[in-house]
Chains A and B, each alone.
Chain A
Amino acid sequence: MMALRELSSLEKSLGLKNPNKYCTQGDKKVPVLHSNNGPSLVGLVTIATHLVQEAKRPELLGGSAEHKALVQQWLEYRLTKVDGCHKDDIKTILKDLNSYLEDKVYLAGNQFTLADTLMYYGIHHIIVDLAIQEKEKHMNVTRWFDHVQHYTGVRHHLPPVVVLRNRVYTSGHH
């Protein structure tokens, strides 16, 4: 039911007044949005994209063609790599995101987008379990994560994760 909670948080953060009704289909509980005026929509990213458009916030899907593609790429990455990832893949995911984010503020560059929101929801369970040292090792992910969780209206259903900015082990005296 995670996906439904995400969608409901997303609705709130987008300021949509009337919450939609969702159900799920299949073993993987893929969310489905039934709407009155048109066919129903299936899939987390599809629905989330639709909500963003409904809220008239197209900038959250990326401004240029390039940004749009990046947003789509990271949304897909969230679904195909992060969701249901095996324990052994976590290291790779963190490492790759960390080097990707090295020179970026957000996933699509300098603009906050839907990709940040959904990646934040999807990766939260991983970050929560990281030891301080691991957070330090993946400094860019941690910075991005902390930033997104403090982004106005994003963190709805998830607990905040404490991110240390002071180094626990300072240099010198040992």
Chain B
Amino acid sequence: MKLFVSDGNPHCVKVLAVLEFTGVKCDVKHVNHEERVVPYLSRPALPALLLPSGTHLFSPNSICQYLIELNGQESSDIVNQWLEWEATELQPAVMHALHMVVLQGKGAETPRVLQGPLSYLDQSLSQRTTLFLTAEMVSVADVVLWAALYPILSDSSLVSGNQTLQLWFERVGMLAACVSAAQTVLQGKGLKAESLKTYLQRQPTTHHGQGQVQGRGTQPCNSPEGDDDDDDCVLSEEEIQSAAVTWGKGLTDLPMVPERQHPILPQEGKRNVLVTSALPYVNNVPHLGNIIGCVLSADVFARYGRLRGWNVLYVCGTDEYGTATENKAREEGLTAQQICDKYHAVHASIYQWFQVDFDFFGRTTTKKQTEIAQNIFWRLHERGFLLEDIVEQLRCEACQRFLADRFVEGTCPFCSYPEARGDQCDKCGKLINAVELREPTCKVCSQTPVVQSSKHLFLDLPKLEAELEQWLERSTGSGDWTANAKQITRSWVRDGLKPRCITRDLKWGTPVPHPDFSDKVFYVWFDAPIGYLSITANYTDQWEKWWKNPQQVELYNFMAKDNVPFHSVVFPCSLLGAQDNYTLVNHLVATEYLNYEDTKFSKSRGVGVFGDMAKDTGIPSDVWRFYLLYLRPEGQDSAFSWVDMATKNNSELLNNLGNFINRAGMFVSKFFESCVPAMALQQEDKRLLAQVGWELKQYINLMDRVKIRDALKCILNISRHGNQYIQVNEPWKKIKGDETDRQRSGTVTGVSVNVACLLSVMLQPYMPTVSHTIRQQLNAPPSVTGTLLQGTGNFVCSLPAGHHIGTVSPLFQKLESEQIESLKKRFGGQQPEEEEEAKPKPKTTAQPDVNAQPDVNAQPATTPASDPAAQTAVNGADAERARELTLAVAEQAEKVRTLKGQKAEKTVIGAEVTKLLELKKQLSLAEGKDPEPVLTKGKKNAQPATTPASDPAAQTAVNGADAERARELTLAVAEQGEKVRTLKGQKAEKTVIGAEVTKLLELKKQLSLAEGKNPEPVLTKGKKK
């Protein structure tokens, strides 16, 4: 059991007090406010308790009740009543009051907010004769209420009167558990705790009476951000003054960012950061999802690190070995090496266009790769971490080789689709073990392969498990692992590790040096991550200074979430087992998926934008980078949309960011002859400096933790503040006024142009070309790039009065809707959301790549099937069973008819009818429907609509179940029709009627479907026209 708490969060006082009060044993972990501990909640919620079953509790009161229950105390009606009152009445008032006192300095108004609940509590206590709320003894209700009130009541100036309440509060507060919880969370300082302020700043403004009191979350990525008032910080007078002091320091005493000199090697006394991006697979052109998932995200972070003055090395390269390359070579009639050469160049040029600034972009088909992979292999072998086992595989006698899963085609054992692949069926989407295919054929020569056994080597993960877990504990505890990375890793380790096959019967790969396995190569997932090392070795002979130096080097791995297990479990096990002081990952940064216009990228269907096409759109590389990073799937999936891209370009880049920077520059050149005017700061200017300074600090704080998308919002916030500042102060009017007005115009212009200069630096990781252009236009001194981002951020005056700027011109262009429409057409963006059925709910499970890789038979043949396989088996069994049952139902029905025909006894017939009904019920179940409202997990796999129409039994079953629904729907249609008529009669608003008509049409459509008619062709056509 593990309790997660965060400093300054008053809810955590409750649970810590109760934890100590009950003496229940439980690990307590302190995390950041923003940490998403509870996997199923989209916003961070703390405290959270991880239960022994693996479920999380996130309600503070329920956590308290649970702890008390563990301690053997039952809760009573009266305790429940107080807890309910606390959650629904007291808590919203307290949060409201805290917000007012701590952030807005409106302590005087708190009694108005708190009076109701406090006097209710006071009265209730006065009416009781007991010492505590519910009894003579302290109950969970006392502790929870005390903790809720602690920050407020510990400040006697805020509340007066309520004598009984005060006495009770002091009585409960004397408990050792309460004292120490208050100390831990709020340093015993109550309202004055700095951590409380930080916590509250991250919370949305609560409206009294509304329930929303829990943590603020990341915004859904496509939603408008502009009117987001909870992003506003509340500034104190000291903060404003200190911003002005920082500003006054200027650029002078801050260091420059040193030029990069290759080879970059770790340096004593520096922060040495090694950044890798998952190696893109060579056999295809990368799509936008690939680009944002790894190379681009890593690039932004590496650029940022360089600006911060860290010693950064960013390496990447193409992953070239494996089946897919062999296959592609066969398709294109080239050798595998030629394919790799061709696509390596394609990849390199795409990343170059996207301005991905690798220190080295290599490849895995090199001599160094062979050396290092074989060295790691032998070390593992010598130390007894490899096992031998027999694996059953298909072998084509004609081609004289074992067939990788992708080289086999056959009839799907589940849906009888004739062209199923060896790893997966394209029709039903189920995963297939190649040896289970019916009538398998070799894709190359069309001969029938035979099943043969072959000896393989396995990495003994179970033997390394304990060491792995120790390391994981350390790394995830101290590093910035994304929540999904931790979660996926946790579930892998929790399910127990199994030996993993590291050899394959292929030619195109790193040869296994062991004489008993001389015709085999390393399986790509053993081999590919070693590519990071060999690519670095091709960059510098001193590669071991990076890779065998965990004391000095911090390693960041960037990837999409499907790659997590290989970087957090499999590869670390290889390195741990090799026992050679390897540098292991400290920060594992995984993105979710980027979808394309709400469907998925698909090369074969021509859906989506691929790396090589981006430049043909005429949209600049920087704008692509901006939009991809703006919707970086950080924490949740996001979707690329052309219309949204145009909107973001036009609203954020053109009207917000570009407009501000351009105006600031234009004022200097037009009104002040390109010479930055003198600035006499007033309170309002200082306030802007503080606002900008605060956003800058947030930016650094977020970037340090690789929250790339969130940090981009800080940049846009700054230019929004800037635009407002210009709008309010109207320098273009004041310049025409008297001397005071003209001075004011000068100050506003000078401050604005300095904000623009700061923005150019903050933009550098995201939009390098634009950043460079701005600095050129402003003629910014070279030292700005390094100085502004040092430490926690210094917004200094970098363009002092008298500084001459260059020629200012607009930075961005509008994206017109015709242009966007034509791009949308060209790239297939109009495909409706579909083929949902065909995708096997891709890659959202915790073990995505086990499924996706052609590795189904990599488990020793003797081991029982792993989970995904078992799942498949169940589904398969159901399909099989459904067929059997259909027959049985038909037979039984015949029997009943015969009996009836023979006028058999009623009881006999009755018995047979019962049997028939039972069979039908089983059939429905096997079809995935529930004849009774009894649902199980398996239900999710039920896809009656997708059952091939060729299977008449299934068809009938579907229709049978639908009769019921059809009746319901007929009623619903009638009702809805009546509603529409009434509305029309009342001459209601068109939009209202329209909405109801839509509902009506929807219902009618459902009805048609339930009746077995297919309304779809008509409707879809109607839409398109």
Instruction: State whether B62 touches A171 (Cβ < 8 A).
Output: no
Which of these, B62, B66, B77, B935, contacts A76 with CB under 8 Å?
A: B62
B638 to nearest A CB, angstroms?
A: 13
Asked whether B269 is an interface residue with its Cβ less than 8 Å from the other chain, the reply is no
A37 to nearest B CB, angstroms?
A: 12
Instruction: State whether B88 touches A41 (Cβ < 8 A).
Output: no
Instruction: State whether A80 touches B87 (Cβ < 8 A).
Output: yes
Instruction: State whether A132 touches B1002 (Cβ < 8 A).
Output: yes
User: In whole angstroms, how far apart are the Cα atoms of A32 and B842 in the complex?
Assistant: 50
Which A residues are in CB contact (< 8 Å) with B42? Answer: 92, 95-96, 99
User: In whole angstroms, how far apart are the Cα atoms of A102 and B831 in the complex?
Assistant: 28
Instruction: State whether B66 touches A66 (Cβ < 8 A).
Output: yes
User: In whole angstroms, how far apart are the Cα atoms of A81 and B39 in the complex?
Assistant: 18
Asked whether A79 is an interface residue with its Cβ less than 8 Å from the other chain, the reply is yes
Which of these, B62, B63, B80, contacts A49 with CB under 8 Å?
A: B80
Instruction: State whether A79 touches B1010 (Cβ < 8 A).
Output: no
Which B residues are in CB contact (< 8 Å) with A132? Answer: 1002, 1006
Instruction: State whether A39 touches B212 (Cβ < 8 A).
Output: no
Instruction: State whether A65 touches B69 (Cβ < 8 A).
Output: yes
Which of these, B85, B972, B1009, contacts A43 with CB under 8 Å?
A: B85
A46-B81, A83-B211, A132-B1002 known; A171 and B835 CB under 8 Å? yes
Which B residues are in CB contact (< 8 Å) with A73? Answer: 57-59, 62
B833, B838, B942 pick with most chain A CB within 10 angstroms: B833
Which of B47-55, B385-393, B530-538, B649-657 sits within the interface? B47-55
A66-B52, A92-B42 known; A105 and B936 CB under 8 Å? yes
User: In whole angstroms, how far apart are the Cα atoms of A146 and B929 in the complex?
Assistant: 13
Instruction: State whether B834 touches A171 (Cβ < 8 A).
Output: yes
User: In whole angstroms, how far apart are the Cα atoms of A46 and B211 in the complex?
Assistant: 18
Residues 34-71 of B, flagged 1 when their CB comes within 8 A of A and 0 if not, give 00000111110000000111010111011101100110
Which of B627-635, B701-709, B852-860, B961-969 sits within the interface? B961-969
A69-B63, A79-B84 known; A165 and B211 CB under 8 Å? no
Q: From A82, which residue of chain B is reached at the shortest CB distance?
A: B211
Interface positions of A from 65 to 98, Cβ below 8 Å from B: 65-66, 68-70, 72-73, 76-77, 79-81, 83-86, 89, 91-92, 95-96
Instruction: State whether B835 touches A143 (Cβ < 8 A).
Output: no
Instruction: State whether A160 touches B57 (Cβ < 8 A).
Output: no
Instruction: State whether A76 touches B1020 (Cβ < 8 A).
Output: no
A interface residues, how many (CB within 8 angstroms): 61
Residues 77-98 of B, flagged 1 when their CB comes within 8 A of A and 0 if not, give 1101101110110010000000
Chain B interface category by residue count: 35 or more
Count A-B pairs with CB separation below 8 Å.
165
A84-B210, A160-B968 known; A72 and B59 CB under 8 Å? yes
Interface of A is mostly: helix
A43-B84, A43-B85, A162-B972 known; A169 and B834 CB under 8 Å? yes
Instruction: State whether A166 touches B933 (Cβ < 8 A).
Output: no
Which B residues are in CB contact (< 8 Å) with A109? Answer: 55
Asked whether A139 is an interface residue with its Cβ less than 8 Å from the other chain, the reply is yes
A41-B81, A68-B69, A147-B933 known; A166 and B1009 CB under 8 Å? yes
Which of these, A46, A95, A147, contacts B80 with CB under 8 Å?
A: A46
Q: From B943, which residue of chain A is reached at the shortest CB distance?
A: A167
Which A residues are in CB contact (< 8 Å) with B968? Answer: 160, 162
User: In whole angstroms, how far apart are the Cα atoms of A45 and B51 in the complex?
Assistant: 23
A103, A140, A162 pick with most chain B CB within 10 angstroms: A162
Instruction: State whether A96 touches B41 (Cβ < 8 A).
Output: yes
A58 to nearest B CB, angstroms?
A: 11
User: In whole angstroms, how far apart are the Cα atoms of A41 and B211 in the complex?
Assistant: 22
User: In whole angstroms, how far apart are the Cα atoms of A131 and B969 in the complex?
Assistant: 15
Asked whether B496 is an interface residue with its Cβ less than 8 Å from the other chain, the reply is no
Instruction: State whether A168 touches B212 (Cβ < 8 A).
Output: no
User: In whole angstroms, how far apart are the Cα atoms of A70 and B52 in the complex?
Assistant: 13
Instruction: State whether A81 touches B69 (Cβ < 8 A).
Output: no
Query: Which 5 A/B pairs are nearest by Cβ-Cβ distance?
Result: A69-B66, A150-B933, A73-B62, A80-B211, A43-B84
7 A-B pairs (CB sep. < 8 Å) = A43-B88, A45-B80, A68-B69, A72-B65, A100-B41, A143-B935, A165-B942
Interface residues of B (CB under 8 A from A): 39-43, 51-53, 55, 57-59, 61-63, 65-66, 69-70, 77-78, 80-81, 83-85, 87-88, 91, 209-213, 217, 220, 831-838, 929, 933, 935-937, 939-940, 942-946, 958, 962, 965, 968-969, 972, 1002-1003, 1005-1006, 1009-1010, 1016-1017, 1020
Interface residues of A (CB under 8 A from B): 28, 30, 39, 41-46, 49-50, 65-66, 68-70, 72-73, 76-77, 79-81, 83-86, 89, 91-92, 95-96, 99-100, 102-103, 105, 109, 131-132, 139-140, 143-144, 146-147, 150-151, 160, 162, 164-174
New A-B pairs, 17, CB < 8 Å, besides A79-B88, A143-B939: A43-B85, A66-B51, A69-B57, A69-B66, A76-B62, A76-B84, A79-B84, A81-B211, A89-B212, A99-B40, A132-B1002, A139-B940, A144-B935, A166-B962, A167-B836, A174-B834, A174-B1020
